[in-house]
């Protein structure tokens, strides 16, 4: 069980670092923004991912599944525009 938000943020950032190279291969990138109180991870998709029509599928099937498998407390991952 994750004990505090800082630990949760650290684990999520670590997982994002693991999936980042796959996005970068296609000219995109992902940046951690924050975690909401209801355990939704907000990320920013940049580069090719910011305008790719498949970015939602990549986000849900790739990033969200990876994070939720490792950290069941996370309810979802959402891309936001900064």
The pairing of strands 76-79 and 28-35 is unpaired
Residue 26 has a CB neighbour count (10 Å cut-off) of: 13
For 20, the token pair is 């980042």
Asked whether the beta carbons of 81 and 33 are under 8 A apart, the reply is no
Q: State the residue for tokens 């796959």.
A: 22
Report the CATH number at residue 63.
Answer: 3.30.300.130
Side-chain-facing half-sphere of 13: CA atoms under 13 Å: 9
- Cα–Cα distance between 2 and 9 in angstroms, integer? 10
**This prediction's pTM:** 0.87
Which residue range is the domain that position 69 belongs to? Answer: 5-79
User: In the chain, how many domains are there?
Assistant: 1
Residues 5-50: pLDDT tens digits? 899 999 999 999 999 998 899 888 999 999 999 999 999 998 887 7
């Amino acid at each position: 069980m994750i004990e505090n938000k800082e630990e949760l943020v650290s684990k999520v950032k670590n997982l994002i670092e693991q999936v980042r190279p796959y996005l970068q291969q296609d000219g995109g990138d992902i940046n951690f923004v924050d975690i909401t109180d209801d355990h939704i991870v907000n990320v920013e998709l940049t580069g090719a991912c910011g305008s790719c029509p498949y970015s939602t599928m990549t986000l849900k099937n790739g990033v969200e599944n990876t994070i939720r498998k490792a950290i069941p407390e996370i309810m979802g991952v959402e891309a936001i525009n900064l």
